[in-house]
Amino acid sequence: MIKLLVILIIMYMFIRKSYTIIINSIEKYNNKSNTKIHIFHIQIVDNTISRKQGLMNVKYLKDKHGMLFDFKKNQKIILWMKNTIIPLDAIFLDKNGYIVYIIKNMKPNSLKNHKSKKKSRYVLEVNAGTVDKYKININDKIQTILLKKNITKYRN
């Protein structure tokens, strides 16, 4: 029984390591289109009330985590940072997850409107500096992993 348990643990560790290697290689480039792919853990907000609340009063956001705003159709989107206490980068995406516009380092608690210059369906808000840290560019692609726990647990 102990031998079986040891074998299962070794197999689990190997599979988990392989999964990590696969994710890391996907994150670098999609070889067919030479498009850089970035993977984020996200919480989705997809209605008027949850989009208005967004990341307001969230004190902490993990690296490679963010909030994905789904506006349901392509449009020019306006954001602001009212009651948002951490600086953010905003990544605007088309319906297929390709980046069409980026706004870096939106200042906390600002009432300034940040408007996309391109129509987009989604906006991914992440920690300020993420775009530069991971060399995220227009035409790169974002893939997401839906979080089981809400980012908003870091409020207050």
Q: How far apart are CA 48 and CA 156, in angstroms?
A: 22
Is the predicted pLDDT of residue 33 greater than 90, yes or no?
Answer: no
Torsion of CA 45, 149, 10, 20, to 10 degrees: 30
- Provide the pLDDT for residue 147: 82
17, pLDDT greater than 50: no
User: Is residue 131 a contact partner of residue 27, using CB atoms and an 8 Å limit?
Assistant: no
How far, rounded to the nearest angstrom, does the alpha carbon of residue 88 sit from its chain's CA centroid? Answer: 11
58-67 pLDDT, tens per residue? 999 999 999 9
Is residue 73 pLDDT above 80, yes or no? yes
Confidence of residue 101 (pLDDT cuts 50, 70, 90): very high
Q: Is the pTM of this model over 0.85?
A: no
Tell me what the mean pLDDT of segment 95-109 comes to: 97
Q: Residue 18 — very low, low, confident or very high, per pLDDT cuts 50/70/90? A: very low
Q: CA nearest 93: which of 114, 113, 70?
A: 70
State yes or no: pLDDT of 4 exceeds 70: no
Q: Considering the chain, what is the average pLDDT of its residues?
A: 84
Name the amino acid, one letter, at 14: F
Q: What is the mean pLDDT of residues 1-13?
A: 59
Rg (CA), the chain: 18
Q: What is the mean pLDDT of residues 138-154?
A: 81
